Every structure is written in C-alpha cells, then in structure tokens.
Structure 1
C-alpha cells in the first residue's frame, strides 16, 4: 500500500520509474483511488474498479482490527502482581483525602486522592479494566454520584493499612482496618465497600454470578481463583502444562493467566519453542520456564512503554526500543492516558460529524420547503395573472348570468346559454 500525490506520479512516469520499487496502489484521496500498472515498461495510472476498491477497504478494515487487537487495553494479572508491590510501597500509611467518580462509556472510572505524610499527594486512577497512580485528573463532576458520596462518608480521613492483590486475580483490596475497599478489574468491573469481616456494605453495582452475588448485607465472596504461576509448586506447574491440549504459549496465556505477550516472553527467556504442544515438554523444559518466571519476579523492575504495549520489565521478545519510566504507574499512566485521549478525539470527531450531518439534513429540509413554497407562490402568481387577463370576459359572463336569472331562466337554461355563447378565451 502506498500513498503519493500527483507530482509523485508524474515523476514516476517521466523516467524515474524503477520496477524494483513498483507501487501497486496509489491513494489520491477518498474519491480518487488509482493503481500504477506496468504498460510495456511505462507506468500507467488506472482507476480502481469497484471490486478492487471493496477489496482494499476490507484489507484496511482487517489491518485496523489486527492493530486494535494487538493494542493493550487492560492490565493483566502479572501486571497487577508487580503494580500491587509498587502501590504498597507508595500508599501504605496514606490518608484518603479525595474521592471522585466519573461516568463514561462502559467504564467505572474513579480517582482516589491521598495525603502521604512527608511526600507529595498521590492520585490513584481506577476503572473496570485497569489501575495505576496518575498525575492527571479531569475536572470533578459538579454533582457527585450517590456511591461516591457514600464512599466519602465512610473513607475520608481514614488511613490505608494494607494494599494487596487477591491471589493472582485482577482484584485489589485496600484496607483501612475498619473497612475494605475491593476493586474487581475483569468483566464489567466493580467497586465494593465491605466491613473488616468482608460483609458488603455497598457495591457500585449489584451483580449476580453463578457462584456468588454482589449486593448489600451479604458476605463478599472472591471470584474463583486463578492459578499463580509465580508462586506455584514446580511439580504442579509441570502437571498443568502436561495436562493441556494447547501449545505452550496458549497454556501459559490462559491456564496460567499470563496473557499472550508475557507467555511469549517467558518462552523466549527460557529458550523454549512456545508453539509446540504443552504436553510434549519435558520436566527440564518446565523447569526452564519456571526459572524464567522467577527471574522476572526477582529482577529489578524496569517499566517500559512500547507503541502498543506497556510492561513492568524490558521485553526480550521485542526488537522495538522502549521508553523507560521510573515507576510502573508512570508507564501505565502515559500509555493509557494517550490511548484514552485518542478515544476522546475520535468521539469528538464522531460527535462533530453527527452534528454536521444533522445540520445538513435540517438545511436540506429547509431548502426543500423553500422550493415548495416558491413553486406555490409562482403558481398563485400565474393564476392571478390569468384571472386579471380574462377579467372583462369573466365580468361579462357574471352579468349575463344575473340578467338571465332575473328574466326567470332556470340554471340548466342559463348553463346551455353560456356554453353556447362562450368565447375561446372564456373556455
């Protein structure tokens, strides 16, 4: 796929053409899509057929979908494993100072503000797919939602006693001693305020699952736990791989909750072919994979931002040179903030297009109405002119009718008389 303007095409056709650099497609804009073909050694510009246009548009759609699928949109269990350590280091002992709740498309966005003695205040961003400390805060809603007010009532001024990830799940608990605030970052997501014994005081959203129910005045139950590949016993780790019907990468990504990117990274660090069946690996292979995981766990974090990925460490599976950040939250904040900005820009664009389309429809209706009334006015004018032109004839007919009526003729006789004496103009 290649894009060039008219001057580029002209240069190609004036002797600068090189078959080794042949462009098979040229985009001159939305309504001018053409292709370059070889016509006996001379490049020739031809307009694309409708079938070719559709094929190219489908290819573009697939490329956009593939790029979108590759772009990270949520944190994984492994991300949260590293992030929880960081949050504990920065927020233990912090005091709840501000609580904001935002509304958005398919999100449950919140920002918690903390006073940290001896340090700068901290902001913690949370939605239904991710969590990280941030330096950015959108203006707070003028009227806070009721759940936000409820959290303020119970948590403002309380000190954080502990922050932890539940097992290897995408669930984080923030405990003040008196209360436990639970964030679920999977499926639709949820925020649940409990007492110290995990009795639910109030959830952001009432939810019902197969094995549990999230609603006030019931005991909170955690979702079924995911296997933790980092702390798992080596023999159990080996058995899980051997029992799988999938390849190594797919097994690490799903059964062991690493996700495809980190599963691939573990295989590369372990020197194992990730595409071979998991049941075909040896105990030595499993040991190498487990060792690679343990090394990732104990190594000093080196948070990285890639074009379509953010990671708590440098990915050996990537050739792209990443941007190194001081903390994992910094990396997550930059990556997802840019992503959300792009979403907002796209939404603004869509809203503007809808507004323009609506205004164009209104303008067309007004134009059609103006045309209609203009035609009515023209027809009325023509009718008035005809009446004026034939007024003497019409007046004579009216006088004749009155005279005939006064003389005692019936309407039938008057009609016959008028029709018999009618002039071509009267007709």
Structure 2
C-alpha cells in the first residue's frame, strides 16, 4: 500500500499548462519515445506501478528465471516498484526531463549446506534515475495540433542506478570434514558497491503515416560504467582476503528503435515501441575468488559470459476517463536483462540470470491540469 500511495499522491499526476500542448491532444508523451516536445512552460508528471508475481506471470518468466539456476529458489524474480517521469518545456522545441524508478527484485538464495547465515537479504532494492534534454532541430512548417506532424530531435540522457547492499551475517561454516568455524557474534558480509552510471544520445525522427497515427524511429549511442564486489567484516585477515572480490565493467553500445502512437479513438491512445541494443565494446576488470570459504552464490567466476545484444518491446493503452484524468495499462518485455534493464548485472546474483527473458506489467494513473485555467480563476 505504501507504493500505491506514493504512486497516487506524488508520482501519478500528469500536468499540462494548456489543453493544446506541443503534442496532438490526447496523446501520452511520458513513457513513449517520439520527437515531440512540450511547449514553453508546460509540464507533465506521470507515474506507473510495476509488478511481477505468479498471478500475472502469464508468460512464465519466473520458470525461465529459475530454470537451471541453482542459486535462486521460491518466488525469486518477483518485482514490485514504481516509475515516475517529469517533463518540462523550456521554450519551443526544447524540454528537460527527469525519470526515477524504484524497484524491489526478489532474490531468495539457495543457501549452501556448509554455511549457516542469519538475516540474509531477500532481494535487491534499486533506484534508477535518468535526466537530460530533448531538442527539436527540425519540424514541418505547417503544424496542426489535432494530428501528428514531421519532427526530428536530439535527446541526451544521463543514467544512474544504485542498489542497497545484499548482505547477511555468517554464523558458522564447515571449513573441512573435521573443522567447523563459528563466529560470536555473527559477522557481516555483503555484495556491495552496486552502482552504475552512464549516458546516451539518440537522434529521433517522427512523422505521420495517417491522420491519427505517428511513426517514430531512432538511432543512438551510449556508454556505461558499472561496479560491484563482495567484502566482509570478519576480523581474520585471511578470511577478509578470501571474501574480497571486485567486478568492474565498462561498455559502449549502439541503439536502434521504432515506436508507433495510434489514436484509436479520441480518448483511447495506443502506443508501442521496440529497441535493439548491441554492445560494441566491453572492458571487464573481474577479480573473483573460487575459495570454498565464500558461499557459492557470491562467487563471480562466470561473469565474463554475458550476452552482447538485447531486444526490448513495450506497449500501453490509455483511456481518458475525462479530459483531465486518464488511466492506463501496459507492459515491457526484454530478451535479456542487461544495459540498464537489470542495473549493474555484473555481480554474482543478477549476473546469473542476465541472459534470461523477463518482463513486467504496468498500471498508470494520470491527471491533466491547466495552469491557464487556474489563472483565469
């Protein structure tokens, strides 16, 4: 309920300073890629509730998620979170934007029989932020606000993802057949430094193909740097050395995509998009340990085998209940879970399923307000 309340109260409003914005009336700009921008002084703030569980996993993503993965059990793969987006029109053809996504990804570990761990984390809590600007450098001279028009834009985005430590307390472990080491009090260990940062640039072209349909296409380039590792607070130096691992990664990638916005009815816009991602350069700095003293789910021996391409697809449909309120339903699918899909996948846990298809459902609520209307009052 806390996430739902946050969605309703702070993340799920859509504000615009005029009924005729710099997009065809009724079309939803947030969460959809196009070369259109808001007009000067216009603002949109929207929010989505994100969910994956056994009641909506109609494509059996969780079965795929856990198949052949000896590290994870139970309802690992469930996701609960929300995403918000703020867009602000600065002047004609230029807007700034900020996006934030908070998510909890369930990861229940199959603990090795040789160790006894207390208070082990049950998932990864991640905050993802994107911010940047979109500048329209070309648009058709004749613009009719009731239908799409031809436009081209440059979009620059800074990205950052930060996750809480995945930690636990080591109470004892079996050193060999005759030796059992016990800690009083139990000693903390963690998968930490879970962070990545990067940027991307896209050239986007949008043009009408029907009076109520706009087609967009884009190409782009991006770069990201990711860090993660493991450590422990155990006093014994030789154990601290065994637990110390670092998994650092730099990637350059290319983007190609297309999207469609179709005004099925004046109050019923349908939007869908596809994006292809290909890593064209990757540099890894992996210092892993195969020591039996480290729980197997923390060993990063196979992190160098991640996929180098990805396909993402999204679709959503929104209904304007009134001219100021809309609700929406959508979803997003990924062929793999890297390059910003599952952040900083260069770690032993999320790296173990980075090449598995995944997806989630979205529920959206939006409210459109008019600053001009308030001024008239």
TM range (shorter): under 0.3
The answer to which structure has the higher strand fraction is 2
Q: When the two structures are superposed, what TM-score results if normalisation uses the length of structure 2? A: 0.22
For the pair shown, the structure with the greater C-alpha radius of gyration is 1
Q: Which has the higher contact order (CA 8 A, sep 6+)?
A: 2
Q: When the two structures are superposed, what TM-score results if normalisation uses the length of structure 1? A: 0.20
The answer to which structure has the higher helix fraction is 1
